[in-house]
C-alpha cells in the first residue's frame, strides 16, 4: 500500500509493522484530495460567473482597469483545471517507476499557477500603458463600480475558501491559488477607486489603476512563487522537525537521535529518522523500539503518513560518526 511505513534497522533487515495507522492516514489523505478537487470546482464556478459579469461591463465601458481585473479572474478560474488534474493524479498508487506516487503533480501545477499570475500581469500592464499613451473615455462608470464590487466579493470568497482548504489538507498549490484570488479581490477595489477618479475628471485614473493592479499581482506572485519553490526544494517548517525530534526523545528506550529528514509528497508528509538504541538490544527489540517511534510520530505529527525509522546501536562509534556528519554540514 502506498505510504505504508517500513522500518530499516541497523542490522540490515527491512521490516513492516502490523499497524493500521498509516493506512488510516492515507485514507485521510485520499479524502483530502477529494476535498481539494471539490474546492477547485466550486471556485471555478464562482469565478467563472464573476468574470462573465465583468466581461460584459468591459465591452461597453472600455475600462482597461476592469479589463485587467477580468483577465485575472479568468486566469484564476482556469488554474482550477490543471490543479484538479494534479489532485486526481495524486490519488494514483505508487508504481515501480514512481515509487513515491504522483503527489508532486500538485507542485508542478503550482508552477503553472505562478506562470498564470505573471502572464496576466504582463497583459494588464501592456493594456494600461497603451491607454496612457492613447487616452480614451470610460463609459457607464456606475456599472464599472458595480462590477468592481462583484469582483471583490467573488474573489475574497474564493480566496478564503481555497486558502482554508489548502492549509487544512497541506496543499501549497491550493494555498498559492487562494493568494492569487485574494490579489484579484484587492485589484477589484482598485478598479472601484479608478472609476471614482474618472468620475471627477481624471482620465488617467483608469490606466493608472491598471498599472497599480500589475504591481499588486507581482507582489503576491512573488509570495506564491516562494511557497511553491520551497515545496519543490523539499522545505518544511522547522517546527515540524522540532516536533519529530521531541517525539523521538519521548519514545522509551531511544538513547539518541541522528538525522531527521522530512519531505512533502503532494499534501502528505514523509519522515526518515535515525535513532540510537542500546548496543545490547536484539534485532527484535530494536524493531519494537523503532515500531513504537513510528507509531508515535504518525499520531503526533499532522499529515505524516509514513515514517522510516532506522535503529542503530548506541556507542562511541555512533557518536564519532554523527560528530563527523555535523562537522561536514557546518
Q: Who's near 96: CB < 8 A, 6+ residues apart? A: none
* 240 shares a domain with 175: no
* 260 shares a domain with 178: no
* 130 shares a domain with 30: yes
The pLDDT of 171-190, averaged and rounded, is 78
Q: Which residues of 297-307 are buried (b: 16+ CB within 10 A; e: fewer)?
A: bbeebebbbbb
CA distances from 271 to 5, 19, 33, 243, 264 (A): 9, 17, 20, 12, 9
15: β partners = 7
Domain boundary among 214, 232, 250: 232
Domain boundary among 172, 205, 232: 232
* 194 shares a domain with 102: yes
Nearest to 184 by CA among 28, 307, 76: 76
The pLDDT of 161-169, averaged and rounded, is 87
State the Cα–Cα distance between residues 146 and 94, nearest whole angstrom: 49
Task: Identify the three-state secondary structure at position 274.
Answer: strand
The cell numbers describing 15, all together, are 521490516
Place 322 in a pLDDT band, splitting at 50, 70 and 90.
low
- What does the angle CA 188 – CA 39 – CA 48 come to, to the nearest 5 degrees? 45
The pLDDT of 125-129, averaged and rounded, is 81
* Residue 12 located in a structural domain: no
* 217 shares a domain with 249: no
Q: Give yes or no for residue 222 having a pLDDT over 50.
A: yes
Domain boundary among 232, 247, 271: 232
* Residue 1 located in a structural domain: no
21-61 and 141-169 helices, crossing angle to 10°: 170
* Residue 13 located in a structural domain: no
306: β partners = 270
257: β partners = 275
* 216 shares a domain with 257: no
* 244 shares a domain with 226: no
The more confidently predicted of residues 271 and 6 is 271
Q: Residue 10 has what pLDDT?
A: 44
The more confidently predicted of residues 201 and 259 is 259
75 touches 119 (CB < 8 A):
yes
* Residue 11 located in a structural domain: no
Q: What is the domain-level CATH number for residue 211?
A: 1.20.1510
Number of domains in the chain: 2
The more confidently predicted of residues 127 and 11 is 127
Average pLDDT, the chain: 79
* Residue 59 located in a structural domain: yes
CA distances from 170 to 183, 199, 273 (A): 21, 45, 21
Q: Give yes or no for residue 238 having a pLDDT over 90.
A: yes
Question: Which of 46-60, 167-181, 261-275 is the least confident region?
Answer: 167-181
* 118 shares a domain with 181: yes
The cell numbers describing 171, all together, are 496543499
Percentage of the chain surpassing pLDDT 70?
Answer: 83
The more confidently predicted of residues 193 and 135 is 193
Q: Tell me the pLDDT tens digit for each residue of 7-43.
A: 444 443 333 333 344 344 344 444 566 777 788 888 8
Q: Hey, CA dihedral for 274, 280, 281, 282, is it positive or negative?
A: positive
Q: Residue 250 has what pLDDT?
A: 94
DSSP 139: P
* 319 shares a domain with 195: no
Most confident of the following: 27-31, 219-223, 319-323: 219-223
Place 175 in a pLDDT band, splitting at 50, 70 and 90.
confident
State the Cα–Cα distance between residues 44 and 48, nearest whole angstrom: 6
* Residue 299 located in a structural domain: yes
State the Cα–Cα distance between residues 300 and 303, nearest whole angstrom: 9
* 277 shares a domain with 159: no
Question: What is the extent of the structural domain holding 99?
Answer: 22-232
* Residue 223 located in a structural domain: yes
Would strands 268-277 and 304-313 be described as parallel, antiparallel, or unpaired? parallel
Most confident of the following: 20-29, 134-143, 170-179, 295-304: 295-304
Amino acid at each position: 500500500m502506498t505510504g505504508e511505513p517500513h522500518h530499516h534497522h541497523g542490522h540490515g533487515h527491512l521490516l513492516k509493522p502490523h499497524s493500521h495507522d498509516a493506512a488510516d492516514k492515507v485514507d485521510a489523505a485520499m479524502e483530502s484530495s477529494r476535498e481539494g478537487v471539490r474546492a477547485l470546482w466550486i471556485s471555478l464556478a464562482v469565478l467563472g460567473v464573476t468574470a462573465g459579469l465583468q466581461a460584459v461591463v468591459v465591452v461597453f465601458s472600455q475600462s482597461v482597469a476592469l479589463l485587467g481585473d477580468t483577465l485575472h479572474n479568468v486566469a484564476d478560474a482556469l488554474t482550477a483545471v490543471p490543479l484538479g488534474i494534479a489532485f486526481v493524479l495524486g490519488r494514483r498508487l505508487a508504481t515501480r517507476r514512481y515509487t513515491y506516487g504522483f503527489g508532486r503533480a500538485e507542485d508542478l501545477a503550482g508552477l503553472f499557477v505562478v506562470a498564470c499570475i505573471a502572464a496576466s500581469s504582463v497583459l494588464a500592464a501592456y493594456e494600461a500603458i497603451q491607454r496612457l499613451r492613447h487616452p480614451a473615455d470610460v463609459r457607464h462608470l456606475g456599472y464599472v463600480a458595480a462590477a468592481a464590487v462583484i469582483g471583490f466579493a467573488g474573489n475574497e470568497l474564493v480566496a478564503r475558501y481555497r486558502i482554508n482548504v489548502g492549509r487544512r489538507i497541506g496543499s501549497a498549490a491550493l494555498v498559492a491559488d487562494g493568494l492569487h484570488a485574494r490579489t484579484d479581490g484587492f485589484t477589484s477595489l482598485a478598479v472601484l477607486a479608478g472609476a471614482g477618479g474618472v468620475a471627477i475628471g481624471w482620465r488617467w485614473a483608469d490606466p493608472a489603476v491598471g498599472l497599480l493592479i500589475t504591481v499588486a499581482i507581482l507582489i503576491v506572485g512573488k509570495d506564491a512563487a516562494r511557497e511553491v519553490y520551497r515545496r519543490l526544494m523539499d522545505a518544511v517548517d522547522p517546527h515540524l522537525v522540532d516536533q519529530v525530534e521531541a517525539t523521538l526523545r519521548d519514545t522509551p528506550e531511544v538513547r539518541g537521535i541522528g538525522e531527521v529528514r522530512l519531505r512533502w509528497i503532494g499534501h502528505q508528509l514523509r519522515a526518515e529518522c535515525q535513532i540510537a538504541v542500546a548496543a545490547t538490544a536484539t534485532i527484535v527489540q530494536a524493531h519494537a523500539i523503532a515500531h513504537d517511534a513510528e507509531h508515535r510520530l504518525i499520531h503526533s505529527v499532522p499529515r505524516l503518513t509514513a515514517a522510516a525509522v532506522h535503529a542503530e546501536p548506541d556507542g562511541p562509534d555512533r557518536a564519532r560518526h554523527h560528530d563527523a556528519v555535523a562537522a561536514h554540514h557546518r
